[in-house]
Amino acid sequence: MKRLRPERLLSACAGVALACAAAGALAQVDALPMIDTHTHLNFVRKGSAPPAMDFPASVAGALGRMDAAGFRRAIIMPQPSPPGAANAWEIERMDFALAQYPARILRGGGGGTLNPMIQATPVAAVDEAVRAKFRALATTIADQGAVVFGEVTAHHLSLKAMGPQHAYQWVPADHPLLRLLADISAERGIPIDLHLDFVPEDMARPGRPIFNDKTPLNLKGNSSAFERLLAHNPKAVFVWAHAGTDPLLTRTLALQRALLAKYPNLYMSLRLGRGGPHPAIALDEGRAFKRPWVALLREFPDRFVLGTDFFHGPEGEDGRGVETDSLQNYRTALASLPRELAEAIAWRNAERIYRLQAVR
């Protein structure tokens, strides 16, 4: 029998120890009851015009993927629909899911009604009648049991990965109806899920082949207006969606750290669809959190939740934008964090922010 030299034996033992540690971390995180705070349903195209949605089949598909990836619960909300969108839907379409799966499916609302109204209304046109109509819509959504107003947007890029129909949307980030929604959020204790592709100042569209032609060649800065929105009502809770991936690569760690420190009402949901070298991407190629991101999460352990942004269709159909395998990234990423921090991001923060019943 061949004997290993001492230095090789030590190396082999170290490798086994690392493998065992990694396996142990994954085993621990497998037990975490993860909550997905930001997910959608995909539209099933069967030659119909407009495209039809099979809500029960899509929810069943979502539950199967959640089970496979380790998600105990999910907040399903309408995507931020533009004015006149044929595929817009609202919270009431999910009544059956709340009745059938009360322990698994939670609902958000506003993407199909509030967002189109925000996008269609010029700032100068916001009078008392418009405000009253908007408040009535938001009140109806809240009364139907929404745990979040969303998804709404102030700046939404049109991306090729989401198909040629993917809309480009822009309004001032401190639009009067967004400020009104902040007031309603504060009154009702319901957070706002906000999609904001960040533009620090007026800039040219990056020369990357990921944008549809709907995305303008020149983008307007939204930094100052975003801060005015956050400051408008400190009691309003904003969950800034899609931290950890960024098509513009402008959502830097320094920016996010500064805003989190300045605005206690700002939270973020982590979209961990892929890893990559750029600092704006949270995961490395091994799907673990990069060290600078771990430092940010440690600094603000109560301000982050999970939000896959996955578009669920029926079983056997991939969603739009990301691969089904990306749902496995969340367990892998959480395994790279200290246990207490992983628990906070996996479920504890979500229960507090969205006022949910205990998942355990």
Hey, what domains does the chain have and what are their CATH numbers? Answer: 37-353 (3.20.20.140)
> What pLDDT does residue 43 have?
73
Q: What is the pLDDT of residue 305?
A: 98
180: number of Cβ within 10 Å: 20
**Rg for the chain, CA atoms, rounded:** 21
Q: What is the pLDDT of residue 74?
A: 98
Please report the pLDDT score of residue 294 as a whole number. Answer: 98
Give the integer Cα–Cα distance in Å for 192 and 263.
15
Tokens of 16: 């086994």
Which residues contact residue 112 at a Cβ distance below 8 angstroms, ignoring those fewer than 6 apart? 78, 81, 85, 88, 89, 90
Q: What pLDDT sits at residue 110?
A: 98
pLDDT at 206: 96
Taking only the tens of pLDDT, the chain with its 360 residues reads: 445 454 554 444 444 443 444 445 555 556 799 999 999 998 765 555 666 788 999 999 999 999 999 999 999 999 999 999 988 999 999 999 999 999 999 999 999 999 999 999 999 999 999 999 999 999 999 999 999 999 999 999 999 998 888 999 999 999 999 999 999 999 999 999 999 999 999 999 999 999 999 999 999 999 999 999 999 999 999 999 999 999 999 999 999 999 999 999 999 999 999 899 999 999 999 999 999 999 999 999 999 999 999 999 998 876 666 778 899 999 999 999 999 999 999 999 999 999 998 866
| Cα-to-chain-centroid distance, residue 250 | 17
What is the reported pLDDT for 323? 77
β-strands 149-156, 109-110: how paired? parallel
